[in-house]
Structure 1
Amino acid sequence: MIPKLTAAQEQLCVLFTLCGKTLDMIAVLEAGHRVIGIEGCQSGVEAFFQENNIKYEIEKDETNKCQTYKGTECPLTIYVTDFFTFNKPLPPIDYIWDRGGLVAINPSTREQYRDRLIRIMAPERTQLFVVAINYTDLTYTGPPFVVNDDNVQTLFGSTCSCELVEAHDETEEYNSRVVSRIDFMEERLHLIVQKQT
């Protein structure tokens, strides 16, 4: 999705859910698009701005239990808040990029997480990209947790169309970052769009 997005000519609005410090946000900014992030960890957000030398200002919203970090020289806004209770109005979103959100949360909260995503999506406009993870090693319990194709279809299929865009074997890359090695891990990118009623 990111190469397609960075090649787009018009300015788009891209939401990164549970964004952490992902450098995908930098790639999208450098392509001239507007970036919005939602993240629960304040220190991670501050580190992102500092590590990428982005000047910012902070607005506090006690009513919504939210802090807003805004780039002063670029169209970047990151909300530090609980994604499940976030209720500030957002501009129309063209893309939602969920690379590490759905696979990181407790599986018991997936339906609630899905409902929040769908509430943000604008019919006939927003395209949701979810990077799901599949692995077969039962000794590894996550996070990241397994989100297979059936899980994606069960979560979104009643109201959205779900299309597998691509799949990548991430076993070697993952094992290079952890102590406990895993036998097999695959990332599967899904495009999810609300069905027309």
Structure 2
Amino acid sequence: MKFTFRENGRLLEKYLDVLLSGRSGLRIFFPLCGKAVDMKRLADLGHSIVGVDISEQALKEFFADQGLPYCEEPVPGIAGAKKLQVGFLRCQMSVLKCPQTYISFDGVWDRGALVAVNPCDRPRLVNSLSIQKFVSSLISFTISFPGPPFYVPESEVKSLFGNHCEIKLLEKVSDFSERHRRWGLDYFLEVLYILKFVA
């Protein structure tokens, strides 16, 4: 069973002002970005976007779907990783192997990375995000079945991020559809948090 996280950008659109806080020209990170259309939306607003994923095919499909030509080059210091770039938008492979000195961001939009990785890899993923001392981050979790996507309870959100972030639950919304019913699910919730780094 294949699950696609990024089917629409309604939550980002609804809370865009919360993430941006009136700021312009931000550098925003999309971990495990896949084909997230939200990247193009923010790039069109003049923000610098870096998306990272393990699937080269997904990244190439994103550029093809958006009708964007791109240049391709290797990523220094990461064997086998590639960078696909056009204008303010850059995508590369492998989020868990990014050198800590490589990334510095003003914000993060996680539309499914934390629920996609194996639970044992969550601390590594969180470390790759939290070291950036981002000003704000919108993180959306899916609550459903054993996974992937994997359930991330609020207690674990606090455990993973609570030492260096203020955490606020923004919204819980049912995303249940007939497709989920066919999968044997009784409910499908999306939970959105805003995290703000505190020194």
TM-score above 0.5, yes or no: yes
Identical positions, percent: 24
Normalised by the size of structure 1, how large is the TM-score?
A: 0.83
CA contact under 8 A between 2:114 and 2:141: conserved in structure 1? yes
Letter matched to residue 188 of structure 2: M
CA contact under 8 A between 1:133 and 1:146: conserved in structure 2? yes
- The CA distance in 2 between the partners of 1:54 and 1:89, in whole Å, is 28
CA contact under 8 A between 1:133 and 1:148: conserved in structure 2? no
SS of 1:171's equivalent?
A: coil
- The CA distance in 2 between the partners of 1:110 and 1:48, in whole Å, is 25
2:186 is aligned, of 175, 183, 191, to: 183
Aligned length: 184
SS of 1:176's equivalent?
A: helix
CA deviation vs aligned residue, 1:38-61 (integer Å, no higher than 9, x gap): 111011111111111111101113
SS of 1:133's equivalent?
A: strand
**61 and 94 in structure 1: CA distance in 2 versus 1, 3 angstrom threshold:** closer
CA contact under 8 A between 2:40 and 2:89: conserved in structure 1? no
Letter matched to residue 163 of structure 1: K
**89 and 59 in structure 1: CA distance in 2 versus 1, 3 angstrom threshold:** farther
CA deviation vs aligned residue, 1:118-150 (integer Å, no higher than 9, x gap): 12x22xx52122111224xxxx32111111211
Task: Tell me the CA shift for residue 88 of structure 1.
Answer: 6.9
**108 and 185 in structure 1: CA distance in 2 versus 1, 3 angstrom threshold:** same
**42 and 188 in structure 1: CA distance in 2 versus 1, 3 angstrom threshold:** same
Letter matched to residue 156 of structure 2: N
- Residue matched to 1:13: 27
Uncovered stretches (5+) of structure 1, i.e. residues with no partner: none
Which structure's CA Rg is the greater one? Answer: 1
- The CA distance in 2 between the partners of 1:126 and 1:36, in whole Å, is 16
**17 and 178 in structure 1: CA distance in 2 versus 1, 3 angstrom threshold:** farther
CA deviation vs aligned residue, 1:168-194 (integer Å, no higher than 9, x gap): 11112xx43673131112111111122
Letter matched to residue 136 of structure 2: Q
Task: Tell me the CA shift for residue 67 of structure 1.
Answer: 0.8
**61 and 195 in structure 1: CA distance in 2 versus 1, 3 angstrom threshold:** closer
SS of 2:113's equivalent?
A: coil
- The CA distance in 1 between the partners of 2:197 and 2:20, in whole Å, is 23
- The CA distance in 2 between the partners of 1:32 and 1:179, in whole Å, is 40
CA contact under 8 A between 1:132 and 1:189: conserved in structure 2? yes
2:176 is aligned, of 171, 178, 181, to: 171
